[in-house]
Amino acid sequence: MPIYEQGYRRWEARGPLRSIRFWPITREALALILAKRAFLGLLVLVWLPFVFRVIQVYVVTRFPEAGRLLPVDGRLFGEFLNQQSGLSFLLSIFGGAGLIANDLRTGAILVYLSRPLTRRDYVIGKLSVLLLLNYSATLVPALLLYGLALGLAPELFLKWSLAWIAPMIVLHATILSLVVSLVALAISSLSRSARVSGLAFMGVIVGLEIVRGVLVGILDRPEAQVLSLQNSLRMVGNLLFGIAEGSAVPTAYPPLLLIAVAAGCLAILRSRVRAVEIVR
Amino acid sequence: MGEPLVEFRDLAVSYGPLQALGGVTGVFLPGATGLLGPNGAGKTTLLKTLLGFLRPDAGSLTAFGLDPGLRPLEVRRRIGYMPEVDCHISGMTASAFVALAGELSGMPRDEAISRSHEVLYYVGLGEARYRTVDTYSTGMKQRVKLAQALVHDPDLLLLDEPTNGLDPAGREEMLALVGDVATRRGISLVLCSHLLRDVERVCSSVVVLNQGRVAAAGELATLTGARRFAFDVRVKGAAAAFLTDLKDAGCEWREGEDGYRVFLGDDVGPELLFRTARECGVQIRHLRPAAESLEDVFLRALGHEVQD
């Protein structure tokens, strides 16, 4: 069709700029990720521990004698979240590896940044994708589990002495999701290939775990416990939920390491998310 | 012509130690402006500074009266940018991609979706709009880049090498589209290219950059207009004697494809040609003031000798 026969309508309904500008980025990226069947399968896998925990809660609240073997208290939620952290890493590898890497490869980053968006909007938009995915593996099932426990055994859980559990679930899930999401996003911004980013993320997690194992096991350096990201997250969780920690690591070390990791990731994102790549 | 949309004065931009723009001054007027220059002249740098991606080291740049460095979001929402490099979102259909671009530019979602379909039809991708952009050919990717730049109906369209990688037919179609945007849809545009024929076909004015400086600027018609003392001449008869006599009279000449281009001296007019022809016994079969092509202007601006 000749182009002069094709319509073009002027659009003059410009309003003020939105204050929340990142949401379309998050929504569309989530839609692309959730359109993959393999990822939906992974999400189902992530919820399997929740099913087992539901059975556990049901059994111990219905048969009080079982509570002696499997106590239902704050520890249950701490352990559940620690368990979910591994799955959260998996979700971040498959969901987050390409978030920025693909944009760098296909030049989409220019499409985003040539719009009325700041670099911060872009990073928040991408980070929100991972936060939502990670919350779906941590915060949502943990809160549901807590709600279930309250419903099944209010006499056990509905008391002031246990009122701290819900805020701690929110805090631990947020720390866990935020740190894992930031690391995944920062690694994604370092490559133009989603596959390379995913492998690098897995390499970092597994590599640090091996280094920790070597230093603690062979060289007997307990402070090396914090070297592993997963272990540091677990130690912070144990701290929040009052789970006894056998190691001699000072309490402040794991949170400090997580803060340093988050700051490092933000610095990487700040230097990598640019519309202009300067090659020297 | 109206008020300039973009003004830059003594604008200097560098990438670390490398100076990309060294104090350029100029304007982009409403209408279609060609931004010309060899590779590395600073064209893309100027566009990126206009979008607020780069901060000037010195000088000033305003777009719609706003400083893109200070108010980048307000400037960008009025600009549509078609980058030189490939750009799409992996796995996304063209309609979703263009709708997202509209939404990111501040359009309500429903409006962005409806307009994405219109714009994709406009650029000739109506039938392919539900395919993922990854599966598109180079020509289709160029069109979808134009669609995402147009979806929010910008006041100024920045087109960075829009015909890159296109075959001759695709190039013609893209230039027809760009020309239509500029002439019939009333959107001003800056066409950044090193292909002079593209610029000549679409633009009414040009800015020529060379080594980070403005080498020439102005209306295309003025720059390529007839030169007062140059004439294209075709003669019948003893051309050699005619040309020798002209040279003796202080004129220069060069052989062209179909006749000669004669450069008269400063103090003589075209009557010299008739007089010399009469004296040599030749007939002048064709005589017209010589007009420069954009290529001549470009080469002259770059300091090269103009070749006929």
Cβ contacts (< 8 Å) between B86 and chain A: which residues? 106-107
Whole-number pLDDT of residue A6: 60
Whole-number pLDDT of residue B306: 46
B48 touches chain A (CB under 8 A): yes
- Interfacial A residues in 105-134 facing B (CB < 8 Å): 105-108, 110-118
Whole-number pLDDT of residue A182: 97
B98 touches chain A (CB under 8 A): no
Q: What's the mean pLDDT when you consider all of chain A?
A: 88
How would you classify the pairing of strands B205-210 and B32-36?
A: parallel
Whole-number pLDDT of residue B76: 93
Residues 6+ apart with CB under 8 A from B269: none
> Do the chains contact at A14 and B92, CB–CB below 8 Å?
no
For residue B236, count other CB atoms closer than 10 A to its CB: 11
Mutate to test the interface with A, among B57, B104, B155 (most CBs of A within 10 A): B104
- The reply to whether the predicted model has a pTM over 0.90 is no
User: Is the pLDDT reported for residue A109 higher than 80?
Assistant: yes
User: Is the pLDDT reported for residue A5 higher than 70?
Assistant: no
> Do the chains contact at B152 and A11, CB–CB below 8 Å?
yes
> Do the chains contact at A110 and B173, CB–CB below 8 Å?
no
Range name among A273-277, B35-39, B229-233, B298-302 with the lowest pLDDT average: B298-302
CA B136 to CA B117: how far, in whole Å?
A: 17
Whole-number pLDDT of residue A58: 85
**Residue % of chain B over a pLDDT of 90:** 49
User: Is the pLDDT reported for residue B233 higher than 60?
Assistant: yes
Mutate to test the interface with B, among A9, A12, A23, A114 (most CBs of B within 10 A): A114
Whole-number pLDDT of residue A2: 52
Compare CB distances from A7 to B87, B122, B124 and report the shortest one's residue.
B122
CA B163 to CA B143: how far, in whole Å?
A: 10
Sign of CA dihedral B266, B271, B277, B282: positive
User: Is the pLDDT reported for residue A268 higher than 60?
Assistant: yes
Cβ contacts (< 8 Å) between A116 and chain B: which residues? 72-74, 76-77, 104-106
Q: How far from B8 is each of A249, B20, B126, CA to CA, in Å?
A: 60, 15, 38
Alpha-helical regions (H) of A107-228: 108-113, 119-137, 139-152, 154-157, 165-189, 194-217
Shortest CA distance from B54: residue in chain A:
A276
> Phi/psi of residue B61, each to 5°?
-145, 130
User: Is the pLDDT reported for residue B73 higher than 50?
Assistant: yes
Calculate how close chain A gets to B220, using CA atoms only, in Å: 24
Mutate to test the interface with B, among A115, A191, A276 (most CBs of B within 10 A): A115
Structure confidence by residue, pLDDT tens digits, A167-195: 999 999 999 999 999 999 999 999 999 99
> Do the chains contact at A6 and B124, CB–CB below 8 Å?
yes
User: Is the pLDDT reported for residue A70 higher than 80?
Assistant: no
User: Is the pLDDT reported for residue A224 higher than 70?
Assistant: yes
Q: Which residues pair with B261 in a beta bridge?
A: B232, B254
In terms of C-beta density within 10 A (0-12 exposed, 13-18 middle, 19 or more buried), how is residue B35 classed?
buried
- B30, amino acid identity: P
| Angle ∠(A40,B113,B105) on CA atoms, nearest 5 | 100
User: Is the pLDDT reported for residue A1 higher than 60?
Assistant: no
Whole-number pLDDT of residue A125: 97
Cβ contacts (< 8 Å) between A28 and chain B: which residues? 89, 92, 96, 100
Structure confidence by residue, pLDDT tens digits, B184-215: 888 899 999 888 888 888 998 999 988 888 88
- Give me A1's structure tokens: 């069709």
Residues 6+ apart with CB under 8 A from A30: A129, A132, A133
**What is the rounded average pLDDT of the residues A108-123?**
94
pLDDT interval class at B224 (50, 70, 90): confident
pLDDT interval class at B307 (50, 70, 90): very low
Q: What is the DSSP letter of A18?
A: P
Closest CA to B113 of B101, B125, B123: B101
CA A170 to CA A2: how far, in whole Å?
A: 59
Choice between B233 and A16, residue whose per-residue pLDDT is larger:
B233
> Do the chains contact at A17 and B106, CB–CB below 8 Å?
yes
Shortest CA distance from A7: residue in chain B:
B122
Compare CB distances from A115 to B76, B173, B186 and report the shortest one's residue.
B76
CA A197 to CA A185: how far, in whole Å?
A: 9
A37 touches chain B (CB under 8 A): no
Tell whether ipTM is more than 0.95.
no
CA A171 to CA B137: how far, in whole Å?
A: 49
User: Is the pLDDT reported for residue A280 higher than 70?
Assistant: no
Cβ contacts (< 8 Å) between A105 and chain B: which residues? 90
Tokens 């807590």 label which residue?
A: A146
Q: What's the mean pLDDT when you consider all of chain B?
A: 87
- Give me A50's structure tokens: 């929740």
Calculate how close chain B gets to A104, using CA atoms only, in Å: 9
Cβ contacts (< 8 Å) between A20 and chain B: which residues? none
CA A179 to CA B306: how far, in whole Å?
A: 63
Structure confidence by residue, pLDDT tens digits, B103-133: 999 999 999 999 999 999 999 888 899 999 9
How would you classify the pairing of strands B188-193 and B156-160?
A: parallel
Compare CB distances from B89 to A108, A117, A280 and report the shortest one's residue.
A108
User: Is the pLDDT reported for residue B69 higher than 50?
Assistant: yes
Choice between A250 and B28, residue whose per-residue pLDDT is larger:
B28
**What is the rounded average pLDDT of the residues A78-98?**
93
**What is the rounded average pLDDT of the residues A71-91?**
88
Alpha-helical regions (H) of chain B: 43-50, 72-76, 94-104, 109-122, 138-150, 168-183, 196-202, 220-223, 239-248, 271-280, 294-301
Sign of CA dihedral A22, B64, B69, B61: positive
For residue A99, count other CB atoms closer than 10 A to its CB: 25
CB B266 within 8 A of CB B260: no
Closest CA to A141 of A179, A183, A84, A193: A84
Tokens 């695709």 label which residue?
A: B170
For B286-307, b where at least 16 C-beta lie within 10 A, e where not — what string? Answer: ebeebebebebbbbbbbeeeee
Residues 6+ apart with CB under 8 A from B119: A8, B98, B147, B150, B151
Structure confidence by residue, pLDDT tens digits, B7-54: 999 999 998 888 889 889 999 999 999 998 888 888 889 999 999 999
Structure confidence by residue, pLDDT tens digits, B249-303: 888 888 877 788 888 876 788 888 999 999 999 999 998 887 767 777 777 677 6
pLDDT interval class at A87 (50, 70, 90): very high
Overall residue count recorded for chain A in this entry:
280
User: Is the pLDDT reported for residue B172 higher than 70?
Assistant: yes
- Interfacial B residues in 115-174 facing A (CB < 8 Å): 115, 118-119, 121-122, 124, 148, 150, 152-153, 173
User: Is the pLDDT reported for residue A25 higher than 80?
Assistant: yes
